[in-house]
Amino acid sequence: MIKEIVKDNFILSQVCQDATKEDLYIVDDLLDTIKFHQTHCVGMAANMIGYLKNIIVVENQNGYLILINPVIEKETGTYQCEESCLSHTGTKQTQRYHKIKVSYLDVQFKKRIKTFERFTAQIIQHEIDHCKGILI
């Protein structure tokens, strides 16, 4: 189901709880909603659509990558960039890592560890910040 984008800073500033298998229905709502906004959205966290769960979806090559309970295990190099977000108006300056190593669960709840670079790493960092209640 396509959900409305949350713009309330009180909700967005809350730390998300880790997701369980019972929360997998949220993935469908995330995918429906990001696809609806695909012309101007490359990543989305569950709290952006009203679920305080640690689930993110990011555009990745020819599809979408779902990361459940993602944790950045290692980061390399930093740079300054400007980001926008569906939950906020305008853009903001922020600092990101060039390369990150992330552990997460896939939709079968199998643990994965993968290294991401460049723009994909930036998107993942932005969405993980959402799950931590960090407003960008």
C-beta separation of 90 from 82 below 8 A: no
Active site residues: 127
CA distance to 59, 75, 116, per residue, from 78 (Å): 22, 9, 14
pLDDT at 43: 97
Q: What is the mean pLDDT of residues 93-120?
A: 97
What is the predicted pLDDT for the residue at 90? 86
Has residue 8 got a pLDDT over 90?
Answer: yes
Classify burial at 56, counting beta carbons within 10 Å of its beta carbon; exposed 0-12, middle 13-18, buried 19 or more: buried
Note the pLDDT of residue 135. Answer: 83
Beta-bridge mates of residue 17: 53
Please, what are the domains in the chain?
9-131 (3.90.45.10)
Tokens of 90: 């305008």
What's 3's DSSP letter? -
CA 41/CA 94 separation, integer angstroms: 18
Position 11 pLDDT exceeds 90: yes
**Residue 86, number of CB atoms within 10 A of its CB:** 17
pLDDT at residue 77, as a whole number: 96
* pLDDT over 90 at 120, yes or no: yes
Rounded to the nearest integer, the mean pLDDT of the chain is 96
Strand, helix or coil at 94?
strand
Mean pLDDT throughout 25-47? 96
Secondary structure (3-state) at 87:
coil
pLDDT digits (tens, 9 = 90+) for 55-101: 999 998 889 999 999 999 999 999 999 999 999 888 999 999 999 99
Is this prediction's pTM over 0.75? Answer: yes
**What is the structure's pLDDT at 136?**
78
pLDDT at residue 41 is higher than 90: yes
